[in-house]
A and B are shown apart, each in its own frame.
Chain A
Amino acid sequence: MFRIVSHTIARDLRLALRRPADLASVLFFFIIVASLFPLGVGPEVDLLRQLAPGVLWVGALLATQLSLPRLFADDYRDGTLEQLALSPNPLGLMVLGKVIAHWLVSGLPLALLAPVLGLQFDLPTDALWVLAGSILLGTPALSGIGAIGAGLTLGLRGGGVLLSLLVLPLYIPVLIFGAGAVDASVSGLGPGAHLSLLAALTVGGLAFAPWAAAAALKIALE
């Protein structure tokens, strides 16, 4: 059972590494969005420090969402998805593999990049760690929930915009606890409670979302 998950991860990672431009554009999107805010609101350090958790988290959220349409679209177009659906393994496990692979090339690099951007916003060192940790913990849930949206909008015209319409409202709890964790750390409250709730969302998301996404994919293939 875990072999099929790891095989899917291996295949998707290999594919992603053959197209490094995709990964790079997600990261640069994140950097650009984060850099726009100081230009929009002005360079006052106090204000930026206050905005940082929300801005960086919204940036990470949008960057993750941006890469979602391709999660299944390529496999759908070239017929691989049909073959996955006809494999004697549960489709949900293969979707889980794809979700994990998606996280490895979006959430993980975003988490590594976020502290660097946090420096631009003059976040204290503790908060930088919490920022990276919260993105690390929260983005798997984003990839999981996003997979449902990607499955539902597969092959539809205007799928990308529709996808964000479906998925972004469902991202709100992750955003609240993620940005809240950094906020709590900045204000000295301690991010523990936020981070545990974030972890709970990720565990729940990874347990249920792949099956809902698999059901959506089967409908899209009919």
Chain B
Amino acid sequence: MLEADNLECIRGARRLFHGVSFGLAEGELLFLQGKNGAGKTSLLRMLCGLSPPESGEVRWKGASIRKLADDFRADLCYLGHLNAIKEELSPLENLLASARLAGEDLAADDALDALAQVGLSGREDLICRYLSQGQKRRVALARLVQERRPLWILDEPFVALDVHAVDWLVGIIGAHLQRGGLAVMTTHQPVEIPAGAVRVLRLGA
């Protein structure tokens, strides 16, 4: 499904990585590892199509993601290390607005349900500025509850989460893989995710 072919990344005058290739099939999870500055985030952004590789190609279902463009993005869910939530809006408003801008219809009840699952019930209408770091991260993660797109690309999803929330997130990702979804993620925390196949890619080794 997702193939990376000989990817090369240059930032400024430095070559972060080159010759990165892998293939990922349905129900598989790719763990991206490497030191700080090895280019993990750069690789994830490359897989999303945000930044073009210096050389090489990313393919989705056999076609280049540059050619697929919107068709690829309709299959993709990306969670960066930025939360992409608005401080001025409440968690509920954030969730609804981001779903709409992503081109999806999300009913208010489903959104409330998702917020309850991430443990934010009672705070749906509080302005996000007053939430803690971990709670803001949960608002961002609430997107994943209703997310039915096949490819998830997650950049450090466990950062700022407590043990309870980590368990919940592991479950959500596991369920996504069980449905036949794909996931690529980076993390510094040791987590066990129940998946058909877990692959590990080490950058800068």
Q: Touch between A and B in complex, CB under 8 Å?
A: yes
Q: Which residues of A contact B (CB under 8 A)?
A: 4, 7-8, 11, 14-15, 18-19, 74, 77-80, 82-90, 94, 221-222
**Contact (Cβ within 8 A) A94 B101:** yes
**Contact (Cβ within 8 A) A79 B80:** yes
Report the Cα distance A19→B97, complex, angstroms: 17
Beyond A78-B84, A79-B84, A86-B48, whether A18 also contacts B89 by CB under 8 A is: yes
Beta-carbon contacts of B59-89 to A below 8 Å, as 1s and 0s?
Answer: 0000000000011011010101111111111
> Of A18, A78, A84, which contacts B82 at CB under 8 A?
A78
B contact residues, total (Cβ < 8 Å): 29
Which label, helix, strand, loop or mixed, suits the secondary structure of the A interface? Answer: helix
| Contact residues in B for A86 (Cβ distance below 8 Å) | 48-50, 73, 76, 78, 102
Which label, helix, strand, loop or mixed, suits the secondary structure of the B interface? Answer: loop
With most chain A CB atoms within 10 A of its CB, the pick from B49, B76, B100 is: B100
**Contact (Cβ within 8 A) A84 B101:** yes
Beyond A86-B48, A86-B78, A222-B51, whether A4 also contacts B101 by CB under 8 A is: yes
**Contact (Cβ within 8 A) A85 B101:** no
**Contact (Cβ within 8 A) B70 A90:** yes
| Contact residues in A for B78 (Cβ distance below 8 Å) | 82-83, 86
Instruction: Give, as a whole number of angstroms, the nearest-CB distance from A220 to chain B.
Output: 11
Is B98 on the interface with A (CB-CB < 8 A)?
Answer: yes
Report the Cα distance A85→B52, complex, angstroms: 14
**Contact (Cβ within 8 A) A87 B93:** no
Q: Which residues of B contact A (CB under 8 A)?
A: 48-52, 70-71, 73-74, 76, 78, 80-89, 93, 97-98, 100-103, 127
**Contact (Cβ within 8 A) B83 A15:** no
| Contact residues in A for B48 (Cβ distance below 8 Å) | 86
Beyond A82-B78, A222-B50, whether A88 also contacts B86 by CB under 8 A is: no
Report the Cα distance A80→B78, complex, angstroms: 11
**Contact (Cβ within 8 A) B51 A87:** no
Instruction: Give, as a whole number of angstroms, the nearest-CB distance from A13 to chain B.
Output: 11
Report the Cα distance A222→B42, complex, angstroms: 9
| Contact residues in B for A14 (Cβ distance below 8 Å) | 89, 93, 97
| Contact residues in A for B97 (Cβ distance below 8 Å) | 7, 11, 14
CB-based nearest B residue for A81: B84
Beyond A78-B83, A82-B82, A222-B51, whether A18 also contacts B88 by CB under 8 A is: yes
**Contact (Cβ within 8 A) B51 A89:** no
Report the Cα distance A7→B89, complex, angstroms: 15
Report the Cα distance A94→B84, complex, angstroms: 16
| Contact residues in A for B50 (Cβ distance below 8 Å) | 82, 85-86, 221-222
**Contact (Cβ within 8 A) B102 A83:** yes
**Contact (Cβ within 8 A) A88 B74:** yes
The contact sample of 25 A-B pairs, CB cut-off 8 A, is: A7-B100, A8-B101, A11-B100, A15-B86, A18-B89, A19-B88, A78-B83, A79-B80, A79-B81, A79-B82, A79-B84, A82-B78, A82-B82, A83-B98, A83-B102, A87-B73, A87-B102, A87-B103, A88-B70, A88-B74, A88-B102, A90-B70, A221-B51, A222-B50, A222-B51
Instruction: Give, as a whole number of angstroms, the nearest-CB distance from A39 to chain B.
Output: 37
